[in-house]
Amino acid sequence: MASDTVLITGISGFIAKHVALILLERGYTVRGTVRSSAKGEEVRVTLARHGAAVDRLEIIEADLLSDAGWAEAAAGCRFVVHMASPFPMAQPRDRFALVPAAREGTLRVIGAARDAGVERVVMTSSIVAVYQGHGSRADARYGDADWSNTNDPSVGAYAVSKTVAERAAWEATRGTGLELAVINPAFVLGPLLDADAGTSAMLIAMMMRGRTPVVPDVSFGIVDVRDVAQAHMAAMETPAAAGHRFILSAGTRSLIEIGRHLAAADPTLRRRVPRFVLPDYVVRMASKVSAQARLLVLELGRAKDLDADPARTNLAIVFRTPEEAIAATAASLREYGLVR
């Protein structure tokens, strides 16, 4: 197969390193973009430590906020996995603050891919581009035809950025001959490849450090990063995946359930993990003064039913359980000394 070259944007990210690892294992040449050469060196060291053939890894500098480097990055590539996007721990107050990097950056990547004659772009969107801003919609099942409503002022900056970036990607590729497939993962957990934990593992770290004794009654879809990586490769290689969105979720768990699972797997955490659920009215009151609480109000008590069947059927993904993903995150956080 695979003397083909694949560009991965944002190769320094938590998920991107897993994608790079399996693509190198498969025999592809991988070109990854970073914002600083120091990060590029770290990625090379990490992937080599996990047995990857890094002689087939190229690193190139490009920032989503600038045109520089993207034409060079896409040149000679058969596929692009567009994964770079701002994913901050704290949500900016300005709901549109992340749009320039997310949307304009996506348009830069797609423009460069089109000009370079790339065959297919696989874009990492998110489940937050699917289900947010629908108020108290009676039907809690969300599928690939659903889109978040960014006109709803309660939808935060991250979800706005992911939704408008994904919409821009579909518009920019329509009728161009450049194929697009989109992956919409739920909350991604699972093993870290190095001590650069990324945003999603930090929630588990906070629980393990005893920082969240009380949690709101919110639930998330969870998916293991190894399955997310596999889905990106399958979306790249499966001809019929072009033109489709694929939700990835292995099941929904509440914050208190995640804590209970951590404690069951490691009894030393029993006194540190969340033990109490905050009454909804407290979160609603806090939402009058706190932007973070306003985001939580959207999620209170309403477990979403996320339809991942197209990923099972068309990408042949057999999901690891949420518990496996949670346990692997916890083990990695210990292994890399991020939680003692």
316 binds ligand NDP (CB under 6 A): no
Q: Catalytic annotation on 39?
A: no
Our CB check for ligand NDP shows the closer of 15 and 308 to be 15
* Residue 272: C-alpha distances to residues 56, 255, 267, 338, 340 (Å): 43, 13, 10, 15, 12
Degrees to nearest 5, angle at CA 259 with 256 and 264: 125
Contact, 66 vs 105, CB < 8 A?
no
Q: Cβ atoms within 10 A of the Cβ of 28, count?
A: 24
Shortest gap between Cβ of 40 and ligand NDP (angstroms)?
A: 10
Q: Cβ atoms within 10 A of the Cβ of 289, count?
A: 8
Shortest gap between Cβ of 48 and ligand NDP (angstroms)?
A: 18
Site for ligand NDP in 180-219 (CB under 6 A): 185, 187-188, 198-200
Of 17, 39, 162, 304, which is the active-site residue? 162
Shortest gap between Cβ of 285 and ligand NDP (angstroms)?
A: 28
Our CB check for ligand NDP shows the closer of 14 and 28 to be 14
- Residues that contact ligand NDP, how many (by CB under 6 A): 26
> 245-248 and 219-224: which strand pairing?
unpaired
Find all residues with CB under 8 Å of 150, minimum gap 6, and list them: 95, 133, 159, 160, 163, 164
Please compute Rg for the chain using Cα positions.
19
Could you give the maximum distance between any two Cα atoms of the chain, in Å? 57
7 binds ligand NDP (CB under 6 A): no
Closest residue to ligand NDP, based on beta-carbon distance:
13
Binder of ligand NDP out of 63, 72, 280, 307 (CB under 6 A): 63
Binder of ligand NDP out of 8, 24, 84, 235 (CB under 6 A): 84
322 binds ligand NDP (CB under 6 A): no
Shortest gap between Cβ of 268 and ligand NDP (angstroms)?
A: 26
Our CB check for ligand NDP shows the closer of 200 and 332 to be 200
148 binds ligand NDP (CB under 6 A): no
69 binds ligand NDP (CB under 6 A): no
230 binds ligand NDP (CB under 6 A): no
Our CB check for ligand NDP shows the closer of 116 and 182 to be 182
Euclidean distance between CA atoms 274 and 216, whole angstroms: 10
Site stretch for ligand NDP (CB under 6 A), options 61-69, 114-122, 172-180, 311-319: 61-69
Euclidean distance between CA atoms 135 and 223, whole angstroms: 24
DSSP states of 145-180: T----TTSTTS-HHHHHHHHHHHHHHHHHTTTS-EE
Shortest gap between Cβ of 276 and ligand NDP (angstroms)?
A: 25
159 binds ligand NDP (CB under 6 A): no
Contact, 290 vs 260, CB < 8 A?
no
Phi, psi at 69, each rounded to 5°: 95, -20
Query: What residues are annotated to the active site?
Result: 162
Binding site for ligand NDP (CB under 6 A): 10, 12-16, 35, 39, 63-65, 83-87, 101, 124, 126, 162, 185, 187-188, 198-200
